[in-house]
Amino acid sequence: MSQQLQSTDHIWHPFTQMKTADAPIQIVRAKDCALHALDGKIYIDAISSWWVNIHGHANEYIASAIAQQAQTLEQVIFAGFTHQPAIDLSKTLIRLLPSGFSKVFFSDDGSTSVEVAIKMAFQYWHNQGSTHKTKLIAFENAYHGDTFGAMSAGGRSTFNAAFQQQLFEVFHIPLPTKDNIEAVSAQFKKIAEQDTVAAFIFEPLVQGAAGMQMYEAAHLDKLIGLAKEHNILCIADEVMTGFGRTGTVFAIEQLEQSPDIICLSKGITGGFLPLGVTVSTQHIYVAFYADDVTKTFFHGHSYTANPLACAAANASMHLLQQESCKDQIRFIGLQHQSFAKNIALQPMVKSTRQTGTILAIELQTGEAGSYFNSIRQHAYRFYIDQGVLLRPLGNVVYIMPPYCITAAELQRVYDVIALSLDFLQQSGTTTA
């Protein structure tokens, strides 16, 4: 067995059917947008390695911050203790977020940040004696993570079919469009009037794993307004959309209405270390602040607010605020717009959609559009052969690059996508 294949001996990879999957590619080092494989091949990371490496790989500034922190304090229990990296990060996040947020709760990743938010919302009502408010409203086809609460909030699909009996009831409503917003609003209002809903959870502006489905801020504002009218908390899951992805630091900046809780992860540490945070408004926190010990928020992990992760996040947030980073975010958005106009003219392109640094291209196929569309594997292999890491969501090809990507690298990604259309059409995997 070759050295490159040895990882399959004992490793079970995520979202991978191990029996049929291609051998994993062993990456030995990375820098900026370049992934260097064991066999010498170089890949452009056009999806920020599952959307986390917003500043690129092996960023020296973040690496240095982690190294310095490792020589001072690598870990300490966060119950009854605190440390400067966490203090600094909490202050930075509150400053960067729209007004109204005040408390930062640390966890480990995106799924747990959502799990915390859901538990926080349920216990908020429980602490006040409103024990009947035990339901959520969420969008169809949503993805909020892989823990049980997060799976419950997500759309019902093949991904969670094995766990249906364990998932709690959630009211799922369609993603709003200009054509259905009135019907969706009426449905939302009807559900809300039952007075059993604790919270409305949503991915603002972009549903990531659903195929980069995008919708208007005004429509979300209308639903948040209805939630507030009916005493329902609002949870913004910005695990994917946060930290510049939609063109603003947070997608909720583009809303008129404000949520009560926001979930953050992925780009927060620039891809260096796992970290999640759940940020709440003061009125959420007050419901737990009591002499009664039973009103404590009973949630925590061993690595909560790990100092190394917090140091990485502080460095990542510093870079995010630099004008050079803001310029790059604008540059990527403009380049995406230009490419989308051109690629949309191709007959096998069904539609394009773009928000900030996120560009999605939906392809025409002879199958229903879904994650399991057979075109996915054909396209993925083509991109890998061409030295570009793109991981289609079924028949939806998307680009979400690190902000440090160069004009030449971005053009190469565009060129490879254009080339793939001819390849896929010739292989009979698309229909014009």
CB of 277 closer than 8 Å to CB of 105:
yes
Give phi and psi for 431, each to the nearest 5: -125, 125
Task: Tell me what the mean pLDDT of segment 275-296 comes to.
Answer: 98
0.75 exceeded by the pTM?
yes
Same domain, residue pair 270 and 302: yes
Task: Tell me what the mean pLDDT of segment 376-400 comes to.
Answer: 96
- Residue 421 belongs to domain with CATH number: 3.90.1150.10
Alpha-carbon distance of 403 to 247, in angstroms, equals 11
- Which of 320, 352, 378 terminates a domain? The answer is 320
Report yes or no on 431 lying in a domain.
Answer: no
Same domain, residue pair 308 and 342: no
Report yes or no on 139 lying in a domain.
Answer: yes
* Count: domains in the chain: 2
**Which of 30, 79, 54 minimizes the C-alpha distance to 265?**
54
- Residue 132 belongs to domain with CATH number: 3.40.640.10
pLDDT at 413: 98
- Which of 288, 320, 352 terminates a domain? The answer is 320
Residue 366 structure tokens: 């002879």
Same domain, residue pair 75 and 206: yes
3-state helix, strand, coil in the chain (%, to 5): 40, 20, 40
Report yes or no on 289 lying in a domain.
Answer: yes
Same domain, residue pair 294 and 387: no
Mean pLDDT score across all residues of the chain: 95
Give residue for tokens 């780009």. 267
Domain that holds residue 82: 63-320
Alpha-carbon distance of 85 to 81, in angstroms, equals 12
- Which of 303, 320, 337 terminates a domain? The answer is 320
Alpha-carbon distance of 196 to 130, in angstroms, equals 9
Same domain, residue pair 106 and 216: yes
Q: pLDDT per residue over 105-145, tens digit each? A: 999 999 999 999 999 999 999 999 999 999 999 999 999 99
Ramachandran category for residue 268: left, alpha or beta (phi over 0 → left; psi -120 to 50 → alpha):
alpha
Distance of CA 236 to the CA centre of its chain: 11
HEC secondary structure over 45-83: ECCHHHHCCCCCECCHHHHHHHHHHHCCCCCCCCCCCCC
Q: pLDDT per residue over 219-269, tens digit each? A: 999 999 999 999 999 999 999 999 999 999 999 999 999 999 999 999 999
Report yes or no on 432 lying in a domain.
Answer: no
Report yes or no on 101 lying in a domain.
Answer: yes
Helix residue spans in 212-275 (DSSP H): 217-229
CB of 262 closer than 8 Å to CB of 238:
yes
Same domain, residue pair 304 and 337: no
Between β-strands 42-45 and 101-107, what pairing exists: parallel, antiparallel or unpaired?
unpaired
